[in-house]
Structure 1
């Protein structure tokens, strides 16, 4: 699929996965970097991340959502085959229709459905994933991760693996990059403990009360006093401690140099916790008591470079210079 010359900057399609808002926030960081470099972008993905896309002033195409985690962890393999399987099939077809309408010069995605659609259509794409088979213990989940990674390794121009940890687990054949986070813009928020719930194994309100009983000042994302933000990065960068479960927030803490306690609630999150075991500044807990034992004894991690910029730099190597398009347009005039 080759776009026709238009005199406009090259168009890059950005597609994020639909389970959890973190996929949208990390891909929005790539959008920021690509647009700063002069490229046009269009976004797709759907799910909980749509509200963050809209809060940042963008609209996105929303293909049918998939709930593999719910089907597998709260159901069975039968539920995966009955629900997630057909949903992925439909999501792939909807992405193909979106590609045909937008005709992007390049796709950047962390969504395997978009990757499959790109492979079927001959759409040039760069894939971003942190999902090695080593995260998982169950045969089904290990097989699923192997298949997803194999598809991308064989069909993507590059497979980028953003990592906070060193060493294993890895994705053989993928290019390792620094963790991804939104650009740090604006004033850092004055935050003591930032609690970012997603699929917590503990009640976030009970957690906040327990922390406050220790004299800590708690900011709870999503509570009645919280207003949706364009980015959590100023809050994460300004916090003394972050408590979360998702890997996107872990990466944002790594870039900001903020200590992080992770409460894993899914197989993938437990894999992340295991990978972070020897990394300074990152801790694991599975109960309020476990958090209380850690909360006053954390160390800050060394801030990492922001891998979102590296994703955009690599993507740009597969695109014509946006200045060439402007020159072409001016000549045509």
Structure 2
């Protein structure tokens, strides 16, 4: 088959772009061209890595749901979702890729409409959620992918439940590594779109005598990959699962401060593991930094995604 392989990431937060960029880099390293899409906060990070991507209409289910009720989600998100799928369909028609690799359900739906084989990557089991509506939505998302994807890949730091039926479990996904960081990083604070007050958090950590490097802070310079900083850090404080995976691969202690339902599910799953600590408050973060040891070494699952996709390309 001819044509560039399509890679698409979801548009909530920057972590989706991080993991799919790792996949795109792996595909490029294997000698194949790629075209990228996704948009949202991750777009700037994608472009920092030298890629240009298509940005379809953004959808923000989490923020809309947290603002109050289901009516807000229906009125604001579903029209945007339809537009996003439609724009993905047009994008796929333009590029006619031999296959798609995505962690974005909108792109998966568009690929199904266009009869383009796709490989789906997600970490979102229904078991993360205690709310019935959120649990049902996750089950529907995963059921669609299980029925239509060439392969459904589930990157996990934890073992056992929660999991996704019919998904192939793989190690956590992380970039291949950023530039080595020579200066002291101390505690690396990686905020998400739903994080607590970063100034209060960093102030509490600094009060213990530790240096803090805050991603996106006043002294932060944008880098193509955080992996070098994560590897050099004494510990990482984060909310999102992408950073959890990157810390696992780097072997750096990780304190998870969840702010959304999905993040709380991740925190519950990793909290029993060596090298991880779940915190609900700033004092619990400080305590976790002092007593969390380094995690065991984790294989980088990026190669598993690339091998699966390129195996499909060869068929």
Does structure 1 residue 208 correspond to structure 2 residue 199? Answer: no
Task: Give the TM-score of the pair, scaled to structure 2.
Answer: 0.97
2:269 counterpart (269, 275, 280) = 275
**What corresponds to 2:217 in structure 1?**
223
CA distance in 1, matches of 2:219, 2:288: 26
CA apart distance, 1:75: 2.3
CA distance in 2, matches of 1:185, 1:196: 16
2:187, 2:211 within 8 Å by CA — same for their partners in 1?
yes
Matched position secondary structure for 1:183: coil
Q: Give CA-to-partner distance per residue, 1:58-115, whole Å, 9 cap, x none.
A: 1100000001001112221111111111111110000000000011011000000001
2:13, 2:193 within 8 Å by CA — same for their partners in 1?
no
1:128, 1:160 within 8 Å by CA — same for their partners in 2?
yes
CA distance in 1, matches of 2:60, 2:163: 25
Matched position secondary structure for 2:287: helix
Does structure 1 residue 92 correspond to structure 2 residue 85? Answer: yes
**What corresponds to 1:43 in structure 2?**
36
1:125 counterpart (107, 118, 121) = 118
2:178, 2:224 within 8 Å by CA — same for their partners in 1?
no
CA distance in 2, matches of 1:14, 1:75: 33
Which stretches in structure 1 are left out of the alignment for 5+ residues? 322-333
1:13, 1:41 within 8 Å by CA — same for their partners in 2?
yes
Does structure 1 residue 70 correspond to structure 2 residue 78? Answer: no
Task: Give the TM-score of the pair, scaled to structure 1.
Answer: 0.92
Computed over aligned residues only, the root mean square deviation of the Cα atoms, in angstroms, reads 1.2
CA distance in 2, matches of 1:201, 1:224: 17
**What corresponds to 2:49 in structure 1?**
56
Matched position secondary structure for 1:295: helix
Q: Give CA-to-partner distance per residue, 1:121-141, whole Å, 9 cap, x none.
A: 111100000000000011111
1:202, 1:287 within 8 Å by CA — same for their partners in 2?
no
2:238, 2:254 within 8 Å by CA — same for their partners in 1?
yes
2:192, 2:239 within 8 Å by CA — same for their partners in 1?
yes
- Detail structure 1 runs of 4+ shifted over 6 Å in the superposition: none
2:5 counterpart (1, 12, 19) = 12
Matched position secondary structure for 1:142: helix
CA distance in 2, matches of 1:292, 1:278: 18
CA distance in 2, matches of 1:99, 1:51: 22
Matched position secondary structure for 1:181: coil
Matched position secondary structure for 1:296: helix
1:263, 1:286 within 8 Å by CA — same for their partners in 2?
yes
**What corresponds to 1:144 in structure 2?**
137
1:102 counterpart (66, 86, 95) = 95
**What corresponds to 1:170 in structure 2?**
163
Q: Give CA-to-partner distance per residue, 1:23-53, whole Å, 9 cap, x none.
A: 0010000011000001100000000000000
CA apart distance, 1:286: 1.5
Q: Give CA-to-partner distance per residue, 1:245-268, whole Å, 9 cap, x none.
A: 000000000000100000000000
1:33 counterpart (26, 34, 43) = 26
Give the total of aligned pairs: 314
1:281, 1:301 within 8 Å by CA — same for their partners in 2?
yes
Does structure 1 residue 181 correspond to structure 2 residue 199? Answer: no
Matched position secondary structure for 2:154: strand
Q: Which protein, 1 or 2, shows the higher relative CO under an 8 Å CA cutoff with sep ≥ 6?
A: 1
2:177, 2:225 within 8 Å by CA — same for their partners in 1?
no
Matched position secondary structure for 1:272: helix
